Amino acid sequence: TQLLEQSPQFLSIQEGENLTVYCNSSSVFSSLQWYRQEPGEGPVLLVTVVTGGEVKKLKRLTFQFGDARKDSSLHITAAQPGDTGLYLCAGKINAGNMLTFGGGTRLMVKP
Amino acid sequence: DTGVSQDPRHKITKRGQNVTFRCDPISEHNRLYWYRQTLGQGPEFLTYFQNEAQLEKSRLLSDRFSAERPKGSFSTLEIQRTEQGDSAMYLCASVAVSYNEQFFGPGTRLTVL
């Protein structure tokens, strides 16, 4: 059982549709990060959220950190084929700062 | 390119052989992390260094694995007597403590035949 559960695991949508990816845990995180990973490459940091209830926007992407800092969501508006990839949430619990990752959501946006 | 670099990008080896991977972090980043990612999963923490000191090791890091960061700059991860279950992507990340955000390298894809 992973500490961070992501849903859905797979998502295939048409260009222009909206989508939301969820990241849930029973643990409290000091911060939570979202990454996007292309096949054969390392994860690329999209955003870090730190404060409970925080909302950050990155163009068409909206990230929210739950009030209790146990969950987060990523919403993409008007998805484009370039958004295709593996989306990973990762949280920090302790001072060691190592990241605990979710299992990822594989998104495919069809033109 | 001033990002995190890893070498080699791909490694194919036979079961029982030893392999060594290298990670060069972003200059002046004092923390360096190693993760392992198997197909279809998120990365899992292996170990991390602050400067040259190895501060934490995951239970995933069996005694066949050893990591070093001798001068507090680049790091190496060695796997001895490789097994097929070691096949994975090995990722390195570095962070400047003051910024608290990890930046990942492109990874080394290991295939053990």
Contacts with B105 from chain A: Cβ below 8 Å: 42
Alpha carbon distance A61, A47 (integer Å): 10
Count other C-beta atoms under 10 Å from residue B97's C-beta.
10
Residues 11-40 of B with CB under 8 A from A: 31, 33, 35, 40
What pLDDT was estimated at residue A40?
86
Say whether pLDDT at A111 is over 90.
Answer: yes
What pLDDT was estimated at residue A89?
96
Alpha carbon distance A46, A63 (integer Å): 10
Nearest to A90 by CA among B43, B40, B30: B43
Nearest to B37 by CA among A8, A5, A110, A99: A99
More confident residue, A21 or A1: A21
Q: Which letter does DSSP use for residue B29 in this model?
A: -
Q: Which of A68-72, A82-86, B18-22, B93-97 has the lowest mean pLDDT?
A: B93-97
Contacts with A31 from chain B: Cβ below 8 Å: 100
Contact A98 B33 (CB under 8 A): yes
User: Are the beta carbons of A33 and A45 closer than 8 angstroms?
Assistant: yes
Enter the tokens of residue A12: 């295939």
Q: What is the CA radius of gyration of chain B?
A: 13
Nearest-by-CA chain A residue for B42: A103
Alpha carbon distance A34, B24 (integer Å): 23
User: Which contiguous run of DSSP H or E holds residue A72?
Assistant: strand A71-76
Nearest to A103 by CA among A45, A44, A25, A51: A25
Alpha carbon distance B105, B94 (integer Å): 8
Angle subtended at Cα B113 by Cα A104 and Cα B40, rounded to the nearest 5 degrees: 10
What confidence tens digit (pLDDT) does each residue in A89-108 have?
A: 999 876 667 889 999 999 99
Residues 40-59 of A with CB under 8 A from B: 40-45, 48
Instruction: Show pLDDT as tens, one digit a residue, over chain B (113 residues).
Output: 569 999 999 999 999 999 999 999 998 888 999 999 998 899 999 999 999 999 989 888 889 999 999 988 999 999 999 999 999 999 999 988 666 788 999 999 999 99
Contact A98 B48 (CB under 8 A): yes
Contact A45 B103 (CB under 8 A): yes
**What is the overall mean pLDDT for chain A?**
92
Q: What is the dihedral of CA A81, A34, A7, B86, to 10 degrees?
A: 100
